[in-house]
Amino acid sequence: MSDVRIRKEGRAGRITLSRPKALNALTYEMCLGIERALDAWAQDSEVALVILDAEGEKAFCAGGDIAQVYRAGIKGDYDYGRRFWRDEYRMNAKLAEYSKPVISFLHGFVMGGGVGLGGHCSHRIVGESARIAMPECSIGFVPDVGGSFRLAQAPGRLGEYLGLTSARMEPGDALYAGFADFFVPEAEWPTLKAALAETGKADAVAKAAQPAPDSPLAERQAQIDMLFGGGSLADIRRTLDEDGPDFAEGARTALARNAPLSMALTLEMVRRLRGPSHSIRDALELEYRVSHRIVEHGDFLEGVRAAIIDKDRQPRWRNATDDVPDAEVSMMLAPLGRDALNLREEAK
Please indicate whether residue 231 is annotated as part of the active site.
no
Please indicate whether residue 144 is annotated as part of the active site.
yes
Please indicate whether residue 63 is annotated as part of the active site.
no
Name the amino acid, one letter, at 214: D
Q: How far apart, in whole angstroms, are the C-alpha atoms of residue 57 and residue 263? A: 31
Task: Catalytic residue, from 53, 65, 136, 287: name it.
Answer: 136
- What is the CA angle 292-298-303, rounded to 5? 110
Task: Catalytic residue, from 63, 64, 114, 118: name it.
Answer: 64
Task: Catalytic residue, from 108, 112, 113, 159: name it.
Answer: 113
Name the amino acid, one letter, at 203: D
Q: Kindly give, in sequence order, each residue whose CB lies less than 8 Å from that of residue 95, ignoring residues fewer than 6 positions away.
A: 38, 102, 117, 120, 121
3 state SS of 173:
helix
Q: Kindly give, in sequence order, each residue whose CB lies less than 8 Å from that of residue 52, ignoring residues fewer than 6 positions away.
A: 15, 16, 102, 103, 104, 105, 117, 118, 121
Task: Catalytic residue, from 35, 144, 268, 328: name it.
Answer: 144
Q: How far apart, in whole angstroms, are the C-alpha atoms of residue 267 and residue 142? A: 10
Please indicate whether residue 113 is annotated as part of the active site.
yes
3 state SS of 7:
strand
Sheet strands (E) in the chain: 4-9, 12-17, 49-54, 59-61, 102-106, 109-111, 123-126, 131-133, 182-183
Residues known to be catalytic: 64, 113, 136, 144
